[in-house]
Amino acid sequence: MGVRVTLNCQIKPDQFRSLLPFLEENLPNVRSFKGCMKVNVLFDKENTEMLLDEEWIEIENHQSYIKHIEGNGVLARLGAFMVSPPQIKYFEMIEI
């Protein structure tokens, strides 16, 4: 069935435009990572808030991805655009 992962990110107001090229460069890596099914990026420009709405096969796949980007420095680069670390939530997808 899969898992829905949301990452609420408060972006620094002066970093919003700089974030876009970073995302364009790195989103293909997320989308091609083992277990990733989909990544959508939503912005609230007025409040400089970004929501990453992702679908993964399993929570462990997403957690493996997080460990991967911790190790290669991408997570630290992403964090530099944010006021604070993202708020990550996992939701099990159920069919009703």
Instruction: Give the pTM.
Output: 0.90
Please report, for the domain that includes residue 28, its CATH number: 3.30.70.100
Q: How far apart are CA 90 and CA 29, in angstroms?
A: 20
Q: What is the pLDDT of residues 3-59, one digit of tens each?
A: 999 999 999 999 988 999 999 999 999 999 999 999 999 999 899 999 999 999 999
Tally the domains of the chain.
Answer: 1
Please list, in sequence order, all residues whose beta carbon lies within 8 angstroms of the beta carbon of residue 36, skipping any fewer than 6 positions away: 30, 54, 55, 56, 61, 62, 65
Which domain range does residue 30 map to?
3-92
